[in-house]
Amino acid sequence: MSKHHDVLIVGAGTGGIMTAAQLKCKKPSLNLAIVDPSKDHYYQPAWTLVGAGAFDFKATRRDMASVIPQGVTWIQDFVTTFDPDNNALNTKSSGTLTYDYLVVSPGLQMDLDGIEGLREALDTPEVCSNYVDPEKTWRVLQNFKGGNAVFTQPATPIKCGGAPQKIMYLADDAFLKAGVRDNAEVVFATPGSVIFGVKDFAKTLMQVINRKGIHLKTFYNPIKIDSAKKEIHFAWTQSDTGGVVTEGNAVREKLEGETTVVMPYDMLHLAPPQSAPDFVKQSPFAHQEGPSKGWMEVDKNTLQHPRYANVFGLGDVVAVPTAKTGAAIRKQAPVVVENVLTMMKSSQLSQARYEGYSSCPLVTGYGKMVLAEFKYDNVRDSDPFLSKFVDTAKETWSM
Ligand SMILES: Cc1cc2nc3c(=O)[nH]c(=O)nc-3n(C[C@H](O)[C@H](O)[C@H](O)COP(=O)(O)OP(=O)(O)OC[C@H]3O[C@@H](n4cnc5c(N)ncnc54)[C@H](O)[C@@H]3O)c2cc1C
C-alpha cells in the first residue's frame, strides 16, 4: 500500500466521510486516503430518538466499508502522533504515512473521569447517557416510577449542545404516557445561564419548560455522583448572588457549605465531560493554552491551521465558537474542500468561508420540533426557503 497520499484524512465520521466524498467528486484523480480504526460508522443524531424508544439503535450503524466513497483508500488503523514538519503522521500498525494535504476530523472523546463517580454511576440502573448507551436510556425511562428525574450537562464543550435537553422533553412525554408524570419532578440543571444561547429559540424553549412544569436550574455544574446514595453534587457557580433558588424545594436539594448543591435522583441522564482526543491534545495542532486548550486550532472562517498551511480541521475536534454538530460539518466540509483544491492549483486559499453555521433540531415531544439554526455570535440563521413556509422557532410537527 502506498504510504504517500495527495490528501490524507484522519477520521471517517461525519466530517471525514463528507470531505472525502466531496473531494473525490470534484477531483476523481485524487490519491486520497482515510485513516480510521473503526469497522462501524454511526449516525449519532438519531441516538436521541433511540433513547426515547422511537428509533432502532441497529439502524444507526453502517459497516464502515459501505460508507467509504468509491476510489478512496481506507486505512483501518489508529493515528497515534502527528509530525507536520515532515508532512507525516504515525499509526499504530501501518507505520508512517505522508501527505501533501492533511484533513483532521477524529471527533472528540468522552471523559468519564471528568466527574467524580460518573464511571461507576453509569453501571447503576438509574444513570444513563445518550452519549454512551442510548438503548440503556430507554430502559431507564421505562423503569422510572416517580421521584426526581434529573437531566444535566457538563461545563466542557459537548457535541450537540441541545441533546441533553431534547431527551428530557421526550422523557417528560414518555412519563405522561406511562402515567408516572404526576409523581415526578423533572429537573434540568445546566452550568450555563440560559436554556439556549439564541434568543428566538430560548423564548420558545422557556414556554416548553413552563408548560411542562420542569425545574430549570442554571449555574449548576455537576461535579460528583454518589451512586450509593443516589445523589448528584453540583458546584453552584452563582453563589455570590444570594441564596440558592429552591422553589419550595420540591426536588429536595440541600446546600452543603457555600457552593455545593446536593440533589437526590431517582433517574439521572447526563452528557459526560468531553474533550479533544488525547492524540490531538498532545499534538502541535492543539491550542496550547487558554479556554480552548487541547482542541484543534484552526482559523474560524477558513478552517486552516494557523501554523501549518497544508493542514485543515473540521467537525467536533476543532475549536471554533459554534455548536459541535453534524449540521455544522455540512457547511464546513465545502470550505475545506474548496481550500484544498484551490491550494493545489495556486497555493492560495479559496474565497470560501465558514460563518459558524450550526443547527439543532430540538425535539420538544413526540411529533414536535423547533429547528434552531444559527451562526457565529449566536445570530439566528434560519434557512430562508424553509422560513417562507414555517416559523422554525415555533414547535411544529412538520419540522
Ligand atoms: C446523542 C447525540 C445527539 C446528536 N444530535 C445531533 C443532531 O441532532 N444534529 C446534528 O447535526 N448533530 C448531532 N449530534 C452530533 C454529531 O453526531 C457530531 O457532531 C458529528 O458526528 C461529528 O462528526 P466528526 O466527524 O467530527 O466526529 P465523529 O462522527 O464522531 O467521527 C470521528 C471518527 O474519528 C475516528 N477516530 C477517532 N480516533 C481516531 C484515531 N486515533 N485515528 C483515526 N481515526 C480516529 C472515529 O473512529 C470516528 O469514526 C449528536 C450527537 C450525539 C452523541
What spacing in Å lies between the alpha carbon of 105 and ligand 1's midpoint? Answer: 9
What spacing in Å lies between the alpha carbon of 44 and ligand 1's midpoint? Answer: 7
CA 167 to ligand 1: nearest atom = 1
> Ligand 1 pocket check: which of 49, 61, 159 to mutate, most ligand atoms within 8 Å of Cβ?
159
Q: How many CA atoms lie within 13 A of 256 on its CB side?
A: 12
Residue 79 has pLDDT above 70, yes or no: yes
CA 358 to ligand 1: nearest atom = 11
CA 130 to ligand 1: nearest atom = 1
Q: Which one, of 13, 138, 22, 131, lies nearest residue 71 by Cα? A: 22
* Ligand 1 contacts CB of residue 217 (under 6 A): no
* 127-176 per-position pLDDT tens digit: 999 999 999 999 999 999 999 999 999 999 999 999 999 999 999 999 99
Rounded mean pLDDT, 51-62: 98
Q: For position 336, what pLDDT does the model report? A: 99
What spacing in Å lies between the alpha carbon of 231 and ligand 1's midpoint? Answer: 30
Beta-strand pair 368-375/379-380? antiparallel
Domains and CATH numbers, the chain: 4-108+276-346 (3.50.50.60), 112-273 (3.50.50.60)
Q: For residue 19, with 0-12 CB atoms within 10 Å meaning exposed, 13-18 middle and 19 or more buried, which class applies?
A: buried
Pick from 116-130, 229-243, 344-358: least confident: 229-243
Q: For position 199, what pLDDT does the model report? A: 95
Q: For position 244, what pLDDT does the model report? A: 63
What spacing in Å lies between the alpha carbon of 14 and ligand 1's midpoint? Answer: 6
Q: For position 1, what pLDDT does the model report? A: 61
Q: For position 239, what pLDDT does the model report? A: 63
* Ligand 1 contacts CB of residue 329 (under 6 A): yes
Residue closest by Cα to atom 48 of ligand 1: 13
Greater confidence (20 vs 242) lies with 20
Rounded mean pLDDT, 189-217: 95
Beta-strand pair 32-35/96-104? unpaired
Beta-strand pair 231-236/215-217? unpaired
Q: Enumerate residues 6+ apart whose C-beta is below 8 A from 51.
A: 128, 130, 134, 135, 137, 138, 141, 167, 170, 269
Q: Are 219 and 195 in contact (CB under 8 A)?
A: no
Rounded mean pLDDT, 81-97: 98
Q: For residue 152, with 0-12 CB atoms within 10 Å meaning exposed, 13-18 middle and 19 or more buried, which class applies?
A: buried
336 C-beta neighbours (distance < 10 Å), count: 32
* 236-288 per-position pLDDT tens digit: 988 665 556 566 789 999 999 889 999 999 999 999 999 999 999 999 999 99
Q: Are 9 and 33 in contact (CB under 8 A)?
A: yes
* Ligand 1 contacts CB of residue 18 (under 6 A): no
Q: How far is the C-alpha of 294 from the C-alpha of 286, rounded, in Å?
A: 5
Residue closest by Cα to atom 28 of ligand 1: 13
Q: To the nearest whole percent, how much of the chain has pLDDT over 90?
A: 95
What spacing in Å lies between the alpha carbon of 160 and ligand 1's midpoint? Answer: 10
Q: For position 242, what pLDDT does the model report? A: 52
- Reading the block at residue 291, the C-alpha cell is 479556554
CA 17 to ligand 1: nearest atom = 25
Rounded mean pLDDT, 378-395: 94
For the residues of 255-266, what is the DSSP string, one character each?
EETTTEEEEE-S
Q: Which residues are catalytic?
A: 160, 360
Residue closest by Cα to atom 23 of ligand 1: 14
This prediction's pTM: 0.97
- Reading the block at residue 347, the C-alpha cell is 497555493
Rounded mean pLDDT, 60-76: 98
CA 48 to ligand 1: nearest atom = 1
Q: How far is the C-alpha of 391 from the C-alpha of 394, rounded, in Å?
A: 6
**DSSP three-state, residue 103:** strand
* Ligand 1 contacts CB of residue 45 (under 6 A): yes
Helix (H) or strand (E) holding 163: helix 163-178
